[in-house]
């Protein structure tokens, strides 16, 4: 890891397994942590968040070197890595815990995310309006260890083969 100052970005785009590897492969990204944010329960567990009753979203916290990759570029990748027009779902994963959201860590990130969402919505790349929530980050709780680096540790698992691998392929990333 570099001694250069890093920044943090936090994205929710459905199941955290589905976007973790997308961000991990980006130049300038130094660490990606799957976890939970935006809810009302302290130190939630996967079982609690999965119930849909804690208010948390499954999300990834991305530590990045802004001299290599910008927040703007990461937001651009976020738009491509999931369907930002689906309210509280991504594919077969349904519930508020799978919502599309950008949790911002500064006024600059908030402004950049709002401008990017507006531009993406006008781009014509999506058949419906973007429903992604953009809100200041609250406490981020890392998920249990078995959720971290999920794709890299479970490439042969059916979920990885049917959901994550096609996404990586579509984005031109290493499968």
Q: Is 52 left (phi over 0), alpha (psi -120 to 50) or beta?
A: left
**What Rg, from alpha-carbon coordinates, does the chain have?**
15
Catalytic annotation, pick one of 8, 12, 14, 15: 15
Which residues does 25 contact at the CB level (< 8 Å), separation at least 6? 168, 173, 174
Tokens 């609690």 found at: 48
Q: Is 104 left (phi over 0), alpha (psi -120 to 50) or beta?
A: beta
Query: 113 near 89, Cβ under 8 Å?
Result: no
Q: CA 98, CA 58: separation in Å to the nearest integer?
A: 6
- Structure tokens of 88? 């509280």
Active site residue 160: no
Task: Tell me the catalytic residues.
Answer: 15
């Amino acid at each position: 890891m570099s001694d250069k100052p890093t920044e943090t970005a936090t994205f929710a785009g459905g199941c955290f397994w589905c976007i973790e590897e997308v961000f991990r492969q980006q130049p300038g990204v130094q660490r990606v942590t799957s976890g939970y944010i935006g809810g009302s329960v302290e130190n939630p567990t996967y079982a609690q968040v999965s119930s849909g009753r804690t208010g948390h979203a499954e999300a990834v916290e991305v530590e990045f070197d802004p001299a290599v990759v910008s927040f703007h570029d990461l937001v651009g990748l976020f738009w491509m890595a999931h369907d930002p027009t689906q309210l509280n779902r991504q594919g077969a994963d349904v519930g508020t815990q799978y919502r599309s959201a950008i949790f911002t860590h500064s006024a600059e990130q908030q402004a950049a995310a709002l401008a990017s969402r507006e531009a993406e919505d006008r781009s014509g790349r999506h058949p419906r309006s973007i429903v992604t929530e953009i809100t200041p980050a609250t406490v981020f709780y890392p998920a249990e260890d078995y959720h971290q680096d999920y794709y890299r540790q479970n490439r042969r698992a059916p979920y990885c083969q049917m959901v994550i691998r096609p996404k990586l392929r579509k984005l031109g990333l290493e499968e």
